[in-house]
């Protein structure tokens, strides 16, 4: 059986009821997220999968780029209409990160961790990223597009140099992985978690357990400059909860996090929180 990422192959043996049942496949496209947003606005069915072998304008957050050599990554987006409030959109990033991590772990045996807010890591190196783009009215989400880029069957040395070092499944395993099987495993896990989300479950506690940064002294570079403190957890809307040296609790909704050198006083002991 061919392991090509064709629509027929993806649908064959895919044990989902709606995620990935409607497929738009492109040998090359600007960005699967952009395409999915257009499709969502036009009312595409829930679970529509937009997948490409190559992107000419793959997107990251804040106008950044996603790079991928043609034909050897997984580059796809899903259209969802979750019955959630706008501030709950981060739940989709969380459940997607958990589903991707589980799928990679079960197929390859590699240990996967996540990095706030949207990175997928192996041994501290970035193997994938998630870009969640939502549109909402004041009360509820109209649609959410979840885009996933995963480095699969190529070498990270083929990528331009990045701030966070990159890796690929090929680099980690020394052999190729079936992109078709990996995609199907991700879609099945994603649907199972999405149905749990629709039934009222929330994923921030499990997600926090998979995040590299929790418990560490970190610095977060955001729109308001750099904030430092101990990463204590995450809120339901995906904000990183950071305890500053003065004991104040800050909830950071966006930014780049990295481990920082400890302040001279060390970690606060049994300090009362002022939140
Ligand atoms: C992300 O953004 O990590 C989200 C990436 C989502 C890409 C998928 S591909 C399918 C779908 N369609 C799209 O157009 N996008 C989604 P961010 O956290 O902003 O990280 C972007 C940064 O990651 C870049 O500035 C680079 O430093 C780095 N980067 C780019 N390509 C990479 C790669 N292949 N592997 C590791 N790091 C990469």
Q: 180-220, pLDDT tens digit by residue?
A: 999 999 999 999 999 999 999 999 999 999 999 899 999 99
pLDDT-based confidence at 274, cuts 50/70/90?
very low
Q: Is 158 in the pocket of ligand 1 (CB under 6 A)?
A: no
Q: Is 31 in the pocket of ligand 1 (CB under 6 A)?
A: yes
Q: 13-22, pLDDT tens digit by residue?
A: 899 999 999 9
How confident is the model at residue 261, as a pLDDT? 86
pLDDT above 70 coverage of the chain, percent: 95
Q: What is the average pLDDT score of the chain?
A: 93
Residue from 225, 229, 236 nearest 214 by CA = 229
The closest residue, in CA terms, to atom 25 on ligand 1 is: 64
Q: 56-94, pLDDT tens digit by residue?
A: 999 999 899 999 999 999 999 999 999 999 999 999 999
Residues 189 and 103 sit within 8 Å (Cβ to Cβ): yes
Q: Is 118 in the pocket of ligand 1 (CB under 6 A)?
A: yes
Q: 86-132, pLDDT tens digit by residue?
A: 999 999 999 999 999 999 999 999 999 999 999 999 999 999 999 99
């Amino acid at each position: 059986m061919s392991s090509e990422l064709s629509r027929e192959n993806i649908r064959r043996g895919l044990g989902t009821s709606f995620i990935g049942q409607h497929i738009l496949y492109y040998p090359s496209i600007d960005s699967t997220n952009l395409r999915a947003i257009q499709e969502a606005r036009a009312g595409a069915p829930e679970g529509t999968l937009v997948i490409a072998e190559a992107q000419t304008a793959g997107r990251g957050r804040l106008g950044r780029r996603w790079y991928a050599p043609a034909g050897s990554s997984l580059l796809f987006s899903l259209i969802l209409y979750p019955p959630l409030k706008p501030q709950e959109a981060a739940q989709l990033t969380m459940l997607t990160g958990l589903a991707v991590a589980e799928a990679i772990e079960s197929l390859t045996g590699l240990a996967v961790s996540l990095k706030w807010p949207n990175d997928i890591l192996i041994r501290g190196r970035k193997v994938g990223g998630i870009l969640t783009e939502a549109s909402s009215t004041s009360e509820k989400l109209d649609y959410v597009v979840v885009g996933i880029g995963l480095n699969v069957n190529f070498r990270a040395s083929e990528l331009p140099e990045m701030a966070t070092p990159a890796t690929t499944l090929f680099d980690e395993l020394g052999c190729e992985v079936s992109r078709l099987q990996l995609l199907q495993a991700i879609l099945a896990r994603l649907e199972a978690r999405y149905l749990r989300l629709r039934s009222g479950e929330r994923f921030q506690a499990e997600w926090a357990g998979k995040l590299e940064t929790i418990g560490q002294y970190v610095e977060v570079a955001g729109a308001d400059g750099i904030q430092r403190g101990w990463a204590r957890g995450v809120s339901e809307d995906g904000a990183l909860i950071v305890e500053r040296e003065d004991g104040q609790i800050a909830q950071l909704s966006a930014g780049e996090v990295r481990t920082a050198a400890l302040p001279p006083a060390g970690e606060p002991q049994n300090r009362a929180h002022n939140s």
